[in-house]
A = this chain, B = another copy of it.
Amino acid sequence: MPTFQDIKNAHKRIRPFIHRTPVLTNSSLNKLSGADLYFKCENFQKVGSFKIRGATNTVLQLTDEELTLGIVTASSGNHGAALCMAVSNRGGKTIVVMPNNTPQIKVDNVERNGGEIVWCEPIQASREKVLQEIMDETGAVLVHPYNDERIIAGQGTAAKELLEDYPDLERIVSPVSGGGLLSGTLCSAKEMKPGILVYGAEPAEADDAYRSLQSGEIQANKTTNTICDGLRAQIGTITFPIIQEKVDGIITVTEDEIIHSMRLIWERMKIIVEPSSAITLSAILKRKELFKGKNVGLILSGGNVDLEDLPF
């Protein structure tokens, strides 16, 4: 488990390569929720999501030898593009294994950030096979999207900034998928502000974290049939124990609730967030009694949305 010192070191390390993102407030959403909401806008982050934090923190700790061998990942989402930028910043090369049905916008994101794409079939077995072949042939180093203490420490810097800017927060809500952001948030927030309550927000359609907590053991997702393309991953073996020890609850929400919140944020705040970000507001609106009258931080994790495929 990363210590708070690890997170402070990560922050110092990555600071020249990331934005310190703004925190926005909105009086009409305060009224609607009955709480004072502070939105940490990682949708404005470089490459459009918080993922650049963990990716940069990890890549900056690779040796020159590792970098020469090349970096590889299988994420076609925000981690993939962020990793490409982090590696490019050190002058290295990233290979991203992507299913051959990946939307063009994600292909563009990887290419714009200097990544090379190797295609696979859109099934898990093909992805793992292609990834393994690349690693065997080139010796390339895999950077996992979340199950890595360096990644977790990097993601924890978002909550650190939020609490530095707003030390009076009493609650924080973070999305949960593989658990990198939520576990990093927990490691920062519980250290900086004893007594703060931290919740994860998760789609009911991909509720492995919720069920894992209930059963005390990692459970697989039964479906990943959610609009939150960033929240379909399986909770990790490193992230789960942190969440299990520290989290105050996981709030699951429906697809309709996610779309409703996304629309509220777009219309009232005039900012573009992914469904995976909007879910934090859904959780607050669903469980108002947990947040009523409190200062609540929401981590808006990213803003990479295909504008030609909106749910409204």
List residues of chain A with CB under 8 Å of any chain B CB: 22, 24, 43-44, 48, 263, 266-267, 269-273, 303, 307-308, 310, 312
5 sample A-B contacts, Cβ–Cβ < 8 Å, listed by A number: A44-B270, A263-B307, A270-B303, A271-B271, A272-B272
* Distance of A263 Cα from B310 Cα, bound (Å): 14
Measured CB to CB, the closest approach of chain B to A197, in angstroms, equals 28
Q: Could you say which residues of chain B place their CB within 8 Å of the CB of A269?
A: 44
Taking A48-B270, A272-B272 as given, write out 11 further A-B residue pairs in contact, using a Cβ cutoff of 8 Å, ordered by the A residue number: A24-B44, A43-B270, A263-B307, A266-B272, A267-B307, A270-B271, A270-B272, A270-B273, A271-B272, A308-B312, A310-B310
* Distance of A273 Cα from B269 Cα, bound (Å): 11
Select A310's contact among B270, B273, B307, beta carbons within 8 Å: B307
* Distance of A168 Cα from B259 Cα, bound (Å): 42
Most buried by B among A48, A272, A310: A272
Q: Could you say which residues of chain B place their CB within 8 Å of the CB of A22?
A: 22
Contact B312 A307 (CB under 8 A): yes
Closest 4 CB pairs of A and B: A270-B303, A270-B272, A43-B270, A307-B312
Measured CB to CB, the closest approach of chain B to A278, in angstroms, equals 13
Measured CB to CB, the closest approach of chain B to A97, in angstroms, equals 25
Closest B residue to A108 by beta carbon equals B267
